[in-house]
Amino acid sequence: MSEKIIFAEKLEGFVKSLKDHVSTDDGQWTVRGFIDIFKNVYTISSDTKIVSKILEIHLFPKILKFAQDNGYKVVLAEHQNYYPDISFVKATDESVRFAVDFKTTYRTLQKPHLCNGFTLGSHGEYFENRTSTKNIQFPYSSYLGHFCLGIIYDRADGATIDETKSHNIDELQAITSVAKNFQFFVTEKWKIASDKGGSGNTANIGSINNITDIVAGRGMFSKLGEHWFDEYWMNYKKITVQDGKGGTKKISTLREFVEYKNGDVSLVVKKRNGEE
């Protein structure tokens, strides 16, 4: 059994315990706010970036124990924009490394089988040049696997959150949580990738957003394999072909790319955004 399979199985087993760590019996997030030295509690914002960062902090002691229990050292990203969030490095063999990124998003209100999606890292310099150390903790090719530790949740109704109000610590139980109904999963990032850039930054790889498919690792490349994922994103919008109308266009869909490379287009998994 390969080091990657062993690591993946252990990480999957570990992640199953995380929901209980962060949730009350009725599914609410146990974090209700932040406290000052006068024991005043301030409700946290429902902003996704804030929720994501606090979740990472909340989970980090568990992550550290998992690493220690399984013979890994934890190396955190030295800079905010570095990939990945955590590098797991085997204590007895530092050539054995795994990249793990926290990925947090929320279910959409109108269609709860869908989520807002993730960005899965850059397809720029360190992705194309696998020995580069630009914006990455260790060269991309030195990792044996690239994993997402994903967290999907429901956002609380905005009407129930008053960020302007402070509470006494005795009122802690009465404070509405900004997040609830957490769902944790682990998958290799290529298995949940789409063929479009992540929102807000076209240099990032986007994910699919059907939750069932995310948890099952049924992204657009899941039948083609990681090699096709790498090739496609290294060449994203770089290959010019005729458009059939006398002009040219850049290849920007997986189907076009597989056709161009004479691959089997039947292996392209279509994104499912409709009702389950």
Other beta carbons less than 10 A from residue 99's beta carbon: 25
Q: Which two tokens stand for residue 115?
A: 């989520």
How far is 257 from 232, CA to CA, in rounded Å?
A: 7
Closest to 123 (Cα-Cα) out of 136, 109, 107: 136
Task: Report which residue type is found at 102.
Answer: F
Annotated catalytic residue, options 103, 189, 191, 196: 103
Choice among 4, 19, 62, 85 that is catalytic: 85
Query: What six digits make up the tokens of 209?
Result: 């957003």
DSSP notation for 19-87: HHHHB-TTSBBS--EEE-TT-EEEEPP--HHHHHHHHHHHHHHHHHHHHHHTTEEEEE-SSTT-B-SEE
Catalytic annotation on 101? yes
Is 154 catalytic? The answer is no
Cα(221)–Cα(162) distance, integer angstroms: 42
DSSP-derived 3-state class of residue 18: helix
- Catalytic status, residue 26: no
Q: What angle do CA 71, 191, 254 make, to 5 degrees?
A: 150
Active-site positions? 85, 101, 103
